[in-house]
Homo-oligomer: A and B are copies of this chain.
Amino acid sequence: MTKWVYAFGDGSADGSADMKNLLGGKGANLAEMSNLGLPVPPGFTISTEVCTHYYDNSKSYPGDLETQVGDALGKIESALGRTFGSVDKPLLVSVRSGGRASMPGMMDTVLNLGLNDETVESLATESGDARFAYDSYRRFITMYSDVVLGVDHGEFEEILDNYKVDRGYRLDTELSADDWKQLVPMYKERVKDVLGEDFPQDCQAQLWGAIGAVFNSWMNPRAETYRRLHDIPASWGTAVNVQAMVFGNMGDDCATGVCFSRNPATGENAFYGEYLINAQGEDVVAGIRTPQNLTKAEREAAKGELPSMEEAMPETFAELCDIREKLERHYKDMQDMEFTIQQNRLWMLQTRSGKRTARAALKIACDMVDEGLIAQAEGVMRVDPMQIDQLLHPMLDPDADKEVVGRGLPASPGAATGAVVFTAEDAEAWKADGKAVILVRTETSPEDIGGMHAAEGILTTRGGMTSHAAVVARGMGRPCVSGAGELRVDAISKTLSCMERTYKEGDIITLDGTTGQIMHGAVDMILPELTGDFGKLMEWVDTFRTMGVRANAETPLDAETAKKFGAEGIGLSRTEHMFFDPERIVHMREMIMSSTEEQRRKAVDKLLPYQREDFETLFRIMEGRPITIRLLDPPLNEFLPHSEEELQEVADAAGVTLKDIKIRKNQLDEANPMLGHRGCRLGITYPEVYEMQARAIFEAAVNVGKDGVKAVPEVMIPLVGMKSELDMMADVVNTTADAVKKETGADFEYMVGTMIELPRACLMAEEIAETAEFFSFGTNDLTQTTYGFSRDDAAPFLDVYHRKGVMEGDPFMTIDVDGVGELVKIGIERGKKARPDIKLGICGEHGGDPASVHFCHQIGLTYVSCSPYRVPIARLAAAQAALAEKG
């Protein structure tokens, strides 16, 4: 018999922390906390296998699930001496989702389950607080109706608002027990109106309804969006946690809170958190009330007026501090914990590895190594390579003039400038138009995730450091200022009012998520310092890493940045990118549009000095590091003139008529430029172009050589599918090299290799490697041809694919290991047959994607090459891959 249900609580558990895949993160940690003897409300976890079974079997449960749930419920009942659905000491439970990976706010939760017209009376009697009991009941009706039955919570808010207006109440706190008691039948009536059915009074029906709702929510659009953005496969499924309720809202000896064993924003080794007296946990997380500080130090630093937990509940706080110690020592990582205090008794509801900013991740990793808690290798493994991206981007220039127009909580570090927009949809639409935007909301909700991703930064006027906006923004690496209460957002008129100023949609503001400041207009930014913890970690990284990291760069600025970020060379220098300068593009066009070799040679000769100078500059910057130079590659249409004016300009430069040029343009237009006349096809049809480029490279090498600078060019022929193509082009390069050597009397080293970016090139790699001294896998193009979709055109249908669950992730971001990856492996294996010491690199976008870097390490590439800003990410990912391999 399959075990579907795992009990926990009461100092022991069926599961443990290493059963995350089966029990979800939350369930596994509840089990682990129970095993550690911590005070966990008893409960049980329905495993993720049930979710898989549910979706594999037309949403039905395994046959023996009901029995197992009944048994587990019985254990809770005996542990607490309560009975589910009984009027005598009724057991109330929460029902929560909990997947393998944390998905904050994405899954639905039901609290206070087990309340009905009878048990609510028992709760009132037992707690001695009828107001609490009926408030809980109406909360339960609202939440259950919304989440399980699909009745919008607005229905109940309307009833409540009318009720308050009729009686002249302003705040919920003004309502008495009697008021709530009167409201309950009105709520139930509304459910019946909407659904044509009574609100369920049977607690078992409530329970199974809630369990079904959790499983169903796994496939809701919000969850799907989150998974898409975080590359979580739909196949993982979610677990369901059913746990005895404990109440933080039974009076002033009750509280609820969220705390971190270290500061998740700065990484400082200081207990950090927020709590609310007489509140449910959801109140803290949802950001509806602004919570109080956990520690006295925090309260003082924040100039808070309400007492910290350390001051208000010193004994329980001490107990919590012990637990913090215990959990951090146990997990050897910073913990994010949720707790509730019911009538002065502390209950731990959850612990998990805490989300943190990149800065915090770095500091915590370095500190824990220094503290001897973890080894250097473990420290390196602790930092998410994707996350350190935020450390590598510009921040506010401290010397810049700035007009601060408001202030909020420093919820997610980094600075951002953009146009104000007021809805997630607008953020996505403006972003799609290429505009940088700041998403401004009263508070964010899971529906806003797409817009938050599209925005450069997020500003909310409500919510704390652990509000939805703050948590999600930190995860995404977006700067965020939350709880900026002095600002006013009017989403209808689309205005943001500060003390002195009012911003309309499209007006520019700047946020600093590190300080919480909101500034008028754009503010100057600077590059971050790459020393301190960052420098320390990157030093460790390089001791573990075995694969090289290069950058894709052609401009001097890119090359300088790459060098600064630790690139060991340039893995892809796209010569055509050097031609977009207005001074040059006319000659480029003249070259493309020549109909005779003679015309073409004339144009090409004009480009030679520019190219030579470009390469000299690169050689000087890279100081002897290898540079892979790709000869002219792109579909020519990328360079074609469009306007009448541009066409005339080219006609003049080439000395032909406008009509000639127009005819030529028509000849050059292609149905599918991506599969057209490009890459080495250009070199074969117009050898004089590659000859000029080779000459520019070699003359530049000779010139810098005179100043003692060593040039190490690796000349790369693009888009080769047949050995004969490479042979002919290698001939052109070698002949040119010989000519330059003879003309100048100087010697220089170089290599000739090819880009492997077509399926056929992978299959023919053995033959091709007879000529190629190196391979650089161009996985962008290889992805296009392997899947048969063009990056320019795929977005509309890939979007549908993601929504319909046909595809997870983006193969242009993370390499498709099964398809493209296999071709790369075939290419490597066959290439090595012909040339065992062949140099192997990758230069697609994948070179800067951590998961892809892992793959590149596994298959034995010599190096990856990525955009300059991604170099540290690739270095870290490469180190993690090497460490993972060691085990």
A721 sits at the interface (CB 8 A): yes
Residue of A728, A797, A807 most packed against chain B (CB within 10 A): A797
Query: Shortest Cβ distance from A346 into chain B, in angstroms?
Result: 47
5 contacts between A and B (CB under 8 A): A672-B672, A681-B789, A759-B786, A763-B786, A764-B818
Closest chain-B Cβ to A780's Cβ sits at a distance in Å of 12
Residues of B within 8 A of A670 (CB): 790, 792-793
Task: List 12 additional A-B contacts (Cβ < 8 Å) besides A675-B784, A684-B797, A724-B806.
Answer: A671-B674, A672-B673, A673-B793, A675-B789, A676-B789, A684-B806, A724-B807, A759-B786, A760-B787, A760-B788, A760-B819, A785-B785
Once bound together, how far apart are the Cα atoms of A684 and B803, in whole Å? 11
B819 touches A721 (CB 8 A): yes
Asked if B681 and A790 sit within 8 Å, CB to CB, the answer is no
Question: What is the distance, in angstroms, from A231's C-beta to the closest C-beta of chain B?
Answer: 16
- Cross-chain contact A764 with B819 (CB below 8 angstroms): yes
Find out whether the CB atom of A781 lies under 8 angstroms from the CB atom of B788.
yes
Q: What CA separation (Å) do A677 and B797 show in the bound complex?
A: 7
Q: What residue in chain B is nearest A796 (Cβ atoms)?
A: B677
**Does A694 make an interface contact (CB < 8 A)?**
no
Which residues from 667 to 713 on chain A have a C-beta closer than 8 Å to any C-beta of chain B?
667, 670-677, 681, 684-685
Q: Is the CB of B758 within 8 A of A804?
A: no
Whether, in the assembled complex, A722 has its beta carbon less than 8 Å from a beta carbon of chain B, the answer is yes
Contacts of A764 in B (CB 8 A): 818-819
Complex Cα distance, B109 from A575, in Å, reads 49
| B-chain residues with CB within 8 Å of residue A788 when the two chains form the complex | 675, 719, 721, 757-760, 781, 785
Residue A491 at the B interface, CB < 8 A? no
Chain B residues near A265 (CB-CB < 8 A)? none
Contact present for B759 and A676 (CB under 8 Å):
no
Q: Chain B: which residue is nearest A667 at the CB level?
A: B796
Which residues in window 658-672 of A have CB below 8 A to B? 667, 670-672
Residues in B with CB closer than 8 Å to A685 are 796-797, 800
With an 8 A cutoff between CB atoms, is A801 at the interface?
A: yes
Docked pose: A804 CA to B790 CA in angstroms: 30
Which of chain B's residues have a CB closer than 8 A to the CB of A789? Answer: 675-676, 681, 721
Residues of chain A in range 772-813 having any CB-CB distance to chain B below 8 Å: 781, 784-790, 792-794, 796-797, 800-801, 804-807
The answer on a CB contact under 8 Å between B822 and A671 is no
Question: Beta-carbon contacts of A540-555 to B below 8 Å, as 1s and 0s?
Answer: 0000000000000000
B801–A684 CB distance below 8 A:
yes
Shortest CB–CB separation between residue A158 and chain B, in angstroms?
31
Contacts of A675 in B (CB 8 A): 672, 674-675, 784, 788-790, 793-794
Residues in B whose Cβ lies below 8 Å from that of A805: 724
Q: Does A725 contact B (CB under 8 A)?
A: yes
A805–B725 CA distance with the chains assembled, in angstroms: 10
Please indicate the chain B residues that have their CB under 8 angstroms from the CB of A876 in the complex: none
A724 nearest in chain B by CB position? B806
A763 and B819 contact, CB distance less than 8 A: yes
The answer to whether B677 and A790 have CB atoms under 8 Å apart is no
Interchain CB contact under 8 A, B804 and A684: yes
Cβ of A184 within 8 Å of any chain B Cβ, yes or no, is: no
- The docked-state distance in angstroms from the alpha carbon of A530 to that of B681 is 45
Within 8 Å of chain B (Cβ to Cβ): is A294?
no
Q: Which residues of B contact A672 (CB under 8 A)?
A: 672-675, 790, 792-793
Asked if A242 lies at the interface with its beta carbon under 8 angstroms from chain B, I say no
In the complex, per-residue mask of A638-671: 1 if CB is within 8 Å of any chain B CB, else 0: 0000000000000000000000000000010011
Q: Which residue of B lies closest to A676 (CB)?
A: B793
Question: Are A787 and B721 in touch, CB under 8 angstroms?
Answer: yes
A790 — which chain B residues lie within 8 A by C-beta? Answer: 670-672, 675-676
Chain B positions within 8 Å of A819 at CB level: 721, 759-760, 763-764
CB distance from A352 to the nearest CB of B (A): 31
Known: A763-B823, A823-B763. A806 touches B674 (CB 8 A): no
Separation of A451 and B585 alpha carbons in the complex (Å) = 39
Shortest Cβ distance from A759 into B: residue: B759
What's the least CB distance linking A730 to chain B, in Å? 13
Residues of B within 8 A of A804 (CB): 684, 728
> Which A463-482 residues sit within 8 Å CB-CB of chain B?
none
A719 to B797 CA separation, bound complex (whole angstroms): 13
B681 touches A797 (CB 8 A): yes
Closest to A679 in B: B788
* Beta-carbon nearest neighbor of A805 in chain B: B724
Q: Give the complex CA separation of A806 and B685 in angstroms.
A: 11
Chain B residue nearest in CB terms to A781: B788
Distance in Å: Cβ of A486 to nearest Cβ of chain B: 43
Q: Smallest CB–CB gap between A733 and chain B, Å?
A: 16
Q: Are A671 and B673 in contact (CB under 8 A)?
A: yes
B806 touches A722 (CB 8 A): yes
CB A779 to nearest CB in B, in angstroms, measures: 13
* Given known contacts A681-B797, A684-B804, A801-B684, A792 and B722 CB-to-CB distance under 8 angstroms: no
A728, A757, A764, A796 pick with most chain B CB within 10 angstroms? A796
Residues of B within 8 A of A758 (CB): 786-788
| A133 → chain B closest CB, angstroms | 48
Within 8 Å CB of A722, what residues of B? 806-807
User: Complex: how many Å from CA A759 to CA B721?
Assistant: 14
Chain B residue at minimal CB-CB distance from A686: B800
Annotate A806-841 by CB proximity to B: 1 below 8 A, 0 otherwise. Answer: 110000000010111011000000000000000000
A797 to B797, CA, bound (A): 31
How far apart sit A786 and B797, CA to CA, in the bound complex (Å)? Answer: 22
Most buried by B among A673, A789, A820, A823: A789
Chain A 253-292, CB-CB to B under 8 Å as 1, else 0, gives 0000000000000000000000000000000000000000
**Chain B residues within 8 Å of A677, by CB:** 793, 796-797
In the complex, what's the smallest C-beta–C-beta distance from A846 to chain B, in angstroms? 16
Q: Give the chain B neighbours of A822 by CB distance below 8 A.
A: 763
User: Cβ of A793: which chain B residues have Cβ within 8 Å of it?
Assistant: 670-673, 675-677
Distance of A204 from chain B, by nearest CB (Å): 34
- A684–B763 contact, CB under 8 A? no
What is the CA–CA distance of A800 and B724 in the complex, to the nearest angstrom?
13
Distance, CA A818 to CA B805, complexed state (A): 35
Please indicate the chain B residues that have their CB under 8 angstroms from the CB of A719 in the complex.
Answer: 788
Taking CB atoms and an 8 Å cut-off, the chain A residues in 567-615 that contact chain B are none
- Name A799's closest neighbour in chain B (CB-CB): B685
Min CB distance, A843 to chain B, in Å? 16
A271 to B136, CA, bound (A): 111
Contacts of A684 in B (CB 8 A): 797, 800-801, 804, 806
For A718-754 the 0/1 string (1 means CB < 8 A from B) is 0101101100100000000000000000000000000
From A682, which residue of chain B is reached at the shortest CB distance? B797
CA distance in complex: A351, B749 (Å) = 57
Taking CB atoms, residues of chain B closer than 8 Å to A806 are: 684, 722, 724-725, 728
Chain B residues contacting A792 (CB-CB under 8 Å) are 670-672
Cα distance, A677 to B792, chains bound together (Å): 11
* Residues in chain B near residue A671, CB distance under 8 A: 673-674, 790, 792-793
Instruction: Give the residues in chain B near A786, CB-CB below 8 Å.
Output: 721, 758-760, 763, 785
A801 to B684, CA, bound (A): 8
Assembled-state Cα–Cα distance A823/B758 (Å): 13
